[in-house]
Amino acid sequence: MREYLLTLCVTAAVTYLLTGPVRKFAIVAGAMPEIRARDVHREPTPRLGGIAMFFGLCAGLLVADHLTNLHQVFEQSNEPRALLSGAALIWLIGVLDDKFEIDALIKLGSQMIAAGVMVVQGLTILWLPIPTVGTVALTQWQGTLLTVALVVVTINAVNFVDGLDGLAAGVVCIAAAAFFMYAYRIWYSYGIEAAAPASLFAAILMGMCLGFLPHNIHPARIFMGDSGSMLIGLVLAASAISITGQVDPDSLFGGSERNTVHQMVPVYIPLLMPLTIIAIPAADLILAIVRRTWRGQSPFAADRGHLHHRLLEIGHSHSRAVLIMYFFSALIAFGALAYSVNAASMWIVLGVVFLSAIGLVLLLLPRFTPRAPRWAEAFVPPRYRRRRAATATAAEGEVPAVADEDDDEERVRVAVGVSGVNGATAVGPRSRAR
């Protein structure tokens, strides 16, 4: 575990330290596209954040290769090299797209090629453990098609959810954390060495997202762009493929088929785990395809109908919309993780239902702004503190000059209107929400 933590910390540190210089490079290179109709942010913001994330990935793999235990992953498997090859290709295409806006069909073809490169080097689904049926061996073509499909779906699901500051990085980080716990348990609890690469990939993916998030939290100073969203989507898919198609239940446990099925219940979870960890992005992807096709548009035509756009439309602030997406992503991913540990526990089901009810309540309270007790104000961000000065000003009939991002939007509009009437120079909104 210490080696995993070291790899994660090195990846996060390299990503964090490089994001600042990458931001300056993106500004100089002109990777700051104009505001589009579907965008939420109001000021041009540099992209190319995926450059820092890619070098964080390289640093994580390099450090892991020199650690005592993790070095065995590179000796016994070619999957780390396959991941690096596919990631380099998809990252390069993403960098070009952030700068020159590549056609959607070209990006789709590049995603397939990157997945094919990983398949050629051994990162592919060989068999599927299906409950009550056993191990189903896949032919070369079946494994290749299934692997490519999973990679393409995951990449585009992550790319579609990348619409608010910190949303894609946070959701993928939550998914990677859940998957790391699952893969680490499979490796050490069941002695399945084939889960080691998946654990390494998930740890590095967490480091990439954690290192980039401080620069991407609202208001974002830089966007990851397609170079980042497609990259973390590919790494997430590689983690799922590594553990899903490389574990053979029949070769690990003897005895009757019932005993094998009973002992390997956690191994069956990979059939659903890749879907649960990207449940929110995948749902957004499916809804977007259906919505655009129904309107007679191309499935790749951008619009403002994504889940995060709908949260903003019903009155949630930018930060609260992101936190709600975090909440449901964590609920689904860690709920599936808890079920893999103890599938017979009714408390897990009741806990998921209870937390789902809390999430629905949060959705119904878009205007509610939580406030911390006075004794805890020094330990919470300013947005959660009670505004004594603002309250006193409002009591005197004046409009506060500054409004917090989580305050009612009407207060902000009124404040701007009053400034305009008084002849003051209106300052543009500081928010860069996407």
Render pLDDT for 413-433 as a digit per residue (tens, 0 to 9): 434 343 443 344 343 433 434
Residue 27 domain-assigned?
yes
Residue 262 vs residue 54, higher pLDDT: 54
Whether 132 has a pLDDT exceeding 80, the answer reads: no
d(CA 397, CA 19): 45
Position 42 confidence tier, pLDDT thresholds 50, 70, 90: low
The mean of the pLDDT values for the chain is 75
290, 306, 339 — which closes off a domain? 290
Say if residue 381 is in the same domain as residue 261: no
Say if residue 285 is in the same domain as residue 392: no
d(CA 185, CA 192): 9
Position 241 confidence tier, pLDDT thresholds 50, 70, 90: confident
Say if residue 178 is in the same domain as residue 276: yes
- The reported pLDDT for the residue numbered 232 is 93
Cβ within 8 Å of residue 349, ≥6 positions away: none
Position 407 confidence tier, pLDDT thresholds 50, 70, 90: very low
Q: Which residue has the tokens 């009757």?
A: 256
Residue 351 domain-assigned?
no
Q: What is the pLDDT of residues 141-192, one digit of tens each?
A: 888 998 999 899 889 888 877 777 888 898 899 889 988 888 888 777 767 7
Domain count, the chain: 2
Distances (CA, A) of 121 to 12, 146, 244: 27, 16, 17
Range of the domain at 408: 374-421
290, 312, 343 — which closes off a domain? 290
Closest CA to 222 of 16, 424, 20: 20
Q: Are the C-beta atoms of residues 128 and 245 closer than 8 Å to each other?
A: yes
258, 290, 322 — which closes off a domain? 290
Region 308-333 average pLDDT: 75
Residue 177 domain-assigned?
yes
Say if residue 286 is in the same domain as residue 389: no
Whether 113 has a pLDDT exceeding 90, the answer reads: yes
Say if residue 378 is in the same domain as residue 279: no
Token pair listed for 18: 């490089």
Residue 296 domain-assigned?
no
In the chain, what's the furthest Cα-to-Cα distance?
A: 84
Residue 43 domain-assigned?
yes
Q: What is the pLDDT of residues 242-284, one digit of tens each?
A: 877 665 555 444 444 444 444 444 455 555 666 676 677 777 7
Q: Are the C-beta atoms of residues 199 and 4 closer than 8 Å to each other?
A: yes
Whether 400 has a pLDDT exceeding 70, the answer reads: no
HSE value, Cβ hemisphere, 13 Å, CA-based, for 37: 5
Residue 87 domain-assigned?
yes
Say if residue 235 is in the same domain as residue 383: no
